[in-house]
């Protein structure tokens, strides 16, 4: 549910479109095809479910769910999934896919990290894939605190995002190599998206993210690198 109270005028506007415009219906329609060039959706979803130890009785929030890469397979394995995204176009694709899969335990909600109000019982896990980098750093810290409040004590936070772990002085070489690698592996349009990501979005360093996760009240249980310049953190909410 989106908060009924108007956000303060100083709050970061999550609907402002820094970087790739996921509110564009043509981008949403093409998303799965474009990403399938370099992602294995089924394998990735299985790995997430295993890492958060998803059980049939669990409830999960997928924040920045997009077209449902995780939300849909997860709904087939647990009690309920709250699929939250700031883009109606991405949510519409997610809802269409849920209907096609015969799933009735996905609740879609147009809201964001800073505006989603979870009015139900706290959940067992929150998953967020390649979405948090849309917030500038201060607002990422606010998002972590809000995610903490939506989780049960002992609940899991699974964060997968573009997060940098190279020494800052090597940024030119790292970014050139990244763009070239995306061009080779996923084509020119994904190389262009990578350029937009670097230039206009808010990916940050691992030591910044780790500080925020800890300060929000989580303990990092696992850190892994499954994809170039992407990191995964499995964290647990302290009791």
Ligand X SMILES: C[S@@+](CC[C@H](N)C(=O)[O-])C[C@H]1O[C@@H](n2cnc3c(N)ncnc32)[C@H](O)[C@@H]1O
Chain residue whose CB lies nearest ligand X: 66
Least distance in angstroms from the C-beta of 10 to ligand X: 16
Q: Which of 64, 73, 155, 217 binds ligand X (CB under 6 A)?
A: 64
CA-to-CA dists, residue 5 to 117, 122, 139, 144, 145, angstroms: 11, 21, 18, 21, 19
Are 113 and 135 in contact by the 8 Å Cβ rule? The answer is: yes
DSSP 57: T
Q: Is 90 in the site for ligand X (CB under 6 A)?
A: yes
**Does 186 interact with ligand X (rule: CB under 6 A)?**
no
Whichever of 142 and 208 has its CB closer to ligand X, that residue is 142
Residue whose CB is less far from ligand X, 33 or 172 = 33
Question: Which of 224, 223, 225, 220 minimizes the C-alpha distance to 235?
Answer: 220
User: What's the closest the beta carbon of residue 85 comes to ligand X, in angstroms?
Assistant: 5
Closest CA to 40 of 60, 64, 61, 69: 69
* Residues in 134-153 that interact with ligand X by CB under 6 A: 134-135
For ligand X, the closer of residues 4 and 172 by Cβ is 4
Which parts of 76-203 fold into alpha helices (H)? 88-100, 137-150, 171-186, 188-200
Q: Does 60 sit near ligand X (CB under 6 A)?
A: no
130 is a site residue for ligand X (CB under 6 A): yes
- CB-wise, 36 or 153, nearer to ligand X? 36
Q: Which of 52, 73, 112, 141 binds ligand X (CB under 6 A)?
A: 112
Q: How far is the CB of 232 from ligand X (least distance, A)?
A: 12
- Decide: is 182 part of the binding site for ligand X (CB under 6 A): no
Confirm if 175 and 198 have CB atoms less than 8 A apart. yes
Q: Cα(220)–Cα(222) distance, rounded to whole angstroms? A: 6
Return the H-helix or E-strand segment holding 157. Answer: strand 151-162
Q: Which is closer to ligand X, CB of 170 or CB of 224?
A: 224
Q: Is 66 in the site for ligand X (CB under 6 A)?
A: yes
Mapped onto helix, strand or coil, the DSSP state of residue 80 is: strand
Residues that bind ligand X (CB under 6 A): 14, 22, 63-66, 69, 85-87, 90, 112-113, 129-131, 134-135
């Amino acid at each position: 549910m989106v908060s009924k109270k108007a956000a303060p005028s100083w709050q970061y506007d999550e609907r402002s479109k820094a970087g790739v415009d996921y509110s564009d219906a043509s981008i949403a329609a093409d998303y799965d095809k474009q990403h399938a060039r370099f992602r294995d959706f089924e394998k990735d979803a299985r790995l997430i479910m295993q890492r958060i130890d998803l059980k049939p009785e669990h409830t999960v929030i997928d924040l920045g769910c997009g077209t449902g890469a995780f939300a849909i397979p997860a709904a087939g394995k647990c009690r309920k999934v709250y699929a939250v995204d700031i883009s109606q176009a991405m949510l519409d694709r997610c809802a269409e896919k849920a209907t096609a899969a015969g799933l009735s335990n996905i609740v879609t909600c147009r809201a964001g990290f800073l505006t989603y109000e979870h009015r139900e019982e706290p959940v067992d896990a929150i998953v967020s894939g390649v979405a948090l980098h849309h917030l500038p750093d201060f607002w990422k810290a606010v998002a972590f605190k809000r995610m903490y409040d939506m989780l049960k004590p002992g609940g899991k936070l699974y964060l997968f995002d573009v997060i940098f772990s190279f020494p800052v002085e090597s940024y030119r070489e790292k970014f050139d190599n990244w763009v070239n690698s995306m061009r080779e592996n996923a084509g020119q349009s994904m190389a262009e998206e990578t350029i937009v990501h670097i230039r206009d979005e808010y990916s940050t360093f691992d030591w910044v993210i780790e500080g925020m996760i800890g300060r929000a009240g989580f303990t990092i249980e696992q850190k892994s690198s499954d994809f170039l310049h992407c990191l995964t953190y499995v964290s647990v909410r302290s009791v």
